[in-house]
Amino acid sequence: MGEFVRLEVEAGVGTIRLDRPPVNALNYQVQAELREAAEEAADRSDVRAVILYGGEKTFAGGADIKEMAAKSYVEISKFGAELTASLTVIAELPKPTVAAITGYALGGGLELALTADRRVIGDNVKVGQPEIQLGIIPGGGGTQRLTRLIGPSKTKDLIYTGRFVKAEEALAIGLVDEVVAPDDVYAAAHKWAAQFVNGPAVALKAAKAAIDGGLDQDLRNGLKLETQLFTALWATEDQTAGMRSFIENGPGKATFEGK
């Protein structure tokens, strides 16, 4: 367990909890602890889905600007590379992930949320990539993951202006997936994550690898990747159990062991 980030596990759902008041600024230590928590969640068989959560007040207000401003070019080069590496570990976590966003998700905070498979926010939340207002651009995946999510035109608008986006617009442009009352954010995220606790873990891992891996390739190679992952599932116990249950009992009644 880190000083500012901890992994809490209950009934198959792991919560990567940021706790660095007042706004969960992502300094070097937080980034390193996020990576460690994600690696632990990936390795633990009792974790079947993961929630990213910053608490009731705010998800993450961005990078630690005071820390960044003092760095030299050589130092920021290392910092930027390690930030990208840490967020990539979270993005590639081989289990369903959801960001439960309260308060704000700005700059590096939004980039952290973009690593999740799904984003749930409170109706009073504001998100954005305001780095341009500091004379810089997003450096933790904002120009890349955001473009893949909402397209280049909308991404350019958000990054060029650095403006804050309210929940209603964020939902309309596909930046987030669900808007709920502020007090219901974690519960809504947990409800989504919990449905995978007894699911076919290997197939879920394959589905994520196929979808995300295919985005990095042309269609022909993406289809090859899909075929490889699809056929490999015939080596799993869950495939045998799932098809047997379908034949004998109909759809949706299989019991999976995640093997």
User: 201-249 in CATH: which number?
Assistant: 1.10.12
Domain chopping of the chain, boundaries: 5-194, 201-249
Average pLDDT over the chain, rounded to an integer: 95
What gap in Å lies between CA 21 and CA 15, rounded to an integer? 18
Say yes or no to pLDDT of 153 above 80. yes
The pLDDT of residue 15 is 98
Q: CATH fold of 5-194, please?
A: 2-enoyl-CoA Hydratase; Chain A, domain 1 (3.90.226)
The pLDDT of residue 254 is 87
The pLDDT of residue 92 is 97
The pLDDT of residue 66 is 86
Q: Average pLDDT in the 156-166 region?
A: 98
Q: Average pLDDT in the 133-154 region?
A: 96
What does the DSSP 8-state code read for residue 10?
E
pLDDT in tens, 24-61: 999 999 999 999 999 999 999 999 999 999 999 999 98
Q: Average pLDDT in the 224-228 region?
A: 95
Give every CB contact of residue 202 below 8 A, 6+ residues apart in sequence: 233, 236, 238, 258, 259
The pLDDT of residue 257 is 87
The two structure tokens encoding residue 239: 């495939």
Whether the Cβ atoms of residue 37 and residue 2 lie closer than 8 Å to each other: yes
List, as one string, the DSSP characters of 14-60: EEEEE--TTTT-B-HHHHHHHHHHHHHHHH-TT--EEEEE--SS-SB
What gap in Å lies between CA 224 and CA 215, rounded to an integer? 13
pLDDT in tens, 91-132: 999 999 999 999 999 999 999 999 999 999 999 999 999 999
Say yes or no to pLDDT of 253 above 90. no
Equal CATH topology for 5-194 and 201-249: no
Helix/strand/coil (H/E/C) assignment for every residue in 115-161: CCCEEEEECCCEEECHHHHHCCCCCCCHHHHHHHHHCHHHHHHHHHH
SS3 2: coil
What does the DSSP 8-state code read for residue 195?
T
Pairing of strands 13-18, 49-53: parallel
Say yes or no to pLDDT of 168 above 90. yes
pLDDT in tens, 172-186: 999 999 999 999 999
The pLDDT of residue 119 is 98
Say yes or no to pLDDT of 1 above 80. no
Q: Average pLDDT in the 125-143 region?
A: 96
SS3 175: coil
Other C-beta atoms lying within 10 Å of the C-beta of residue 194: 16
The pLDDT of residue 251 is 87
Active-site residue set? 111, 131
